[in-house]
Chain A
Amino acid sequence: MAKRKSTTRVAKRHGFQPYDERTQPLRSIKGYANTLRRAPTRFYPRVVSLADTTGPRFSAADVLAEEADLSRQAPGKPRALGQLITISGRVLDDAGKPVPDCLIEIWHANASGKYIHHNDPSPVPEDANFRGRGRVVTDAEGRYSFRTVKPGGYAVPDNRPGDTIGWWRPPHIHVSLFGAHFAARLVSQIFFPGDPLNEADLILGRIPDKRARERLIARYVPRTTSNSAEGDAPLLFAHDMVLRGRFETPFEAR
């Protein structure tokens, strides 16, 4: 165990620690066959080095402004069907400091519960006006905002023997983040408050710690103004995400 201890010490000095296992999902799910076919089995101690505490950097120049709006194909194009929403928040490090220049990629199903993807065999209708994917880079305060339509839930074919009913995914937004270094990489999902499917979701439910599960659920924000700048009124949701490690990088000239 001496080896493991020294790994932890190096990790602390470099600004991140191994994840608290209770706040992260278990790896196998009955009913989700890919988790069983692909379940990793062999883990070895990690020796933290510069390869973990450095990583790719992105900037606002890497994305287009229109990529923040999934509710239509391009500015001026017709709106996708469904409840218009914004999802906004901040990306923080585990000291609570904002993470600027964090590339956030999101994608989700349309209002009927269908993805724009050749892997989605679902018979529910597509929506030609729905963009389905978006990218933004956080500002100096770690803030981000997307405009989109609320995704629908959808049925998942079940792989459990004897169960032909299947199970349902609650409405959710997939999210992928590149933080200050390679070890801060996060791939997660954002759920909606008050949805009865959240409680029964096999994927969200695989996180042992209740509060860690609750932290994946966005917060509904009551409106304080009547309309957005565009004259419409999206429902507002707020969601902060925390990346492992400390963001202490002084910015150097590019």
Chain B
Amino acid sequence: MATTSARRPARRKAPAKRAAPKRAAKTATAFPPTAHQTVGPFFPAQFIRPTDNDLAGLGDGRPRAQGTPCVIVGTVRDINDNPAVNIILEIWQANAAGRFNHPNDKGSAPLDPHFTGWGRTWTDRDGGYRFTTVKPGGYQAGPRSNRWFAPRIAMTIVGSGLMRPLVTCLYFPDEPLNDDDPQLAAIRDPDARRQLILVPDHHAAAPAGVPAYRFDIRLGGKLATPFLVD
């Protein structure tokens, strides 16, 4: 088979600016996914309930989720370092035992009836946001795999001017599983890997005994948050 690859012309480096291809690939399925469009600036505020950013149930009268609660705060900024207001952030994660509340997770770790794993909020006039959640457990790459994914929080970002949702994930500091996490390993740039790790924040407002972390998001520019190919 070496001869086949030898005959193949050398791959050309992609030009910086490519003309957009006019047609989709012929191999596309009979049911190609619907195209994304920007969420625009008018997403109804009523769709985001005040408790949607409290996954841990720390608010008054709410059932507490199991595990170690934590607060995650941050600011979303644009390429000019100005606060990005009205950005909608959605998170999804396993519970403290490393189990996702979904039938596709066939793992044996216990479910927590008081933890859905999903949350949503949007940025205020200073670009700030806040979630209260519990630290998720790590999880196996597959039922028979001995590779593990480190505790992480998946995040989807939509907002005016974002033509497609942005996808990233948040990791916890001082977590031994980070060293072997397949997603972190796929990001070769050590600076980019570091940007995905939450930073302890001792100044953020948090209930007594609840650790707070910071995850600032830069949408573009040289210091941009690493996003994952979608």
Contacts and interface: CB of A to CB of B under 8 A. Distances in A.
Contact of A53 (B29, B84, B104): B104
A32, A34, A40, A135: most-surrounded residue (chain B CB, <10 A): A40
B158 interface: yes
A198 to B, nearest CB: 13
Given A44-B229, A49-B182, A209-B24, A35 B33 contact: no
B191 to A, nearest CB: 10
A35 B161 contact: yes
A40 B220 contact: yes
A235 B139 CA distance: 50
A93 B104 CA distance: 16
SS class of chain A's interface: helix, strand, loop or mixed? loop
Interface in B73-129: 78-80, 82, 84, 86, 90, 92-94, 100-105, 116-118
Interface in B124-180: 139, 141, 149, 152, 154, 156, 158-167, 169
Given A40-B227, A119-B86, A133-B47, A55 B31 contact: no
B44 A133 contact: yes
The dominant DSSP class at the B interface is loop
A133 B44 CA distance: 7
A212 B24 contact: yes
Contacts of B90: 185
A215 interface: yes
Given A23-B33, A37-B220, A43 B229 contact: yes
B228 interface: yes
A85 to B, nearest CB: 19
B43 to A, nearest CB: 7
Interface stretch (A71-79, A222-230, A244-252): A244-252
Contacts of A51: 92-94, 100, 149, 152, 154, 169
Interface of B: 20-25, 28-47, 78-80, 82, 84, 86, 90, 92-94, 100-105, 116-118, 139, 141, 149, 152, 154, 156, 158-167, 169, 182-183, 185-187, 189, 192, 219-222, 224-230
26 contacts: A20-B25, A20-B32, A23-B35, A24-B35, A25-B37, A27-B164, A35-B38, A37-B161, A42-B224, A44-B192, A51-B152, A51-B154, A94-B31, A107-B44, A117-B42, A119-B86, A120-B42, A133-B47, A182-B92, A206-B163, A208-B21, A209-B23, A211-B24, A213-B35, A215-B35, A243-B33
